[in-house]
Amino acid sequence: MDFYETYVGISHTSHARIKLMSKGKSLGQLFKEARRKKHLTQLEVAEKAGVHWNTVAKIERNEQDPHFPTALSIAEVLDIPVSELTKYYRHK
């Protein structure tokens, strides 16, 4: 069992996705607000998270429903706690 399975209850290789809304705020809004507070560009976040910049852009525009590991990587860069991120979690 790894970190994802222990802490979040899913395997990091699962096809778990993040739903886009939690209590009226989208995941994209959460990421965008956190990114701006840290004065980072989408490209900087993407490079640190190991994803393409277009992935970050699409998530922020609510055009992409990211796999949990992708969302977790971005959240780590933005210092968003896993407990906050899991409010958006669901299995597809």
> In the chain, what are the domains?
3-90 (1.10.260.40)
Task: Please write the tens of the pLDDT for every residue from 4-41.
Answer: 444 455 444 544 445 555 566 889 999 999 999 999 99
Task: Please write the tens of the pLDDT for every residue from 38-84.
Answer: 999 999 999 999 999 999 999 999 998 888 899 999 999 999 998 88
Residue type for 84, please? Answer: E
Strand pairing of 21-22 and 25-26? antiparallel
Burial of 50 (C-beta count, 10 Å sphere; 0-12/13-18/19+): exposed
Q: How far is CA 23 from the centre of its chain?
A: 16
The pTM of this model reads 0.75
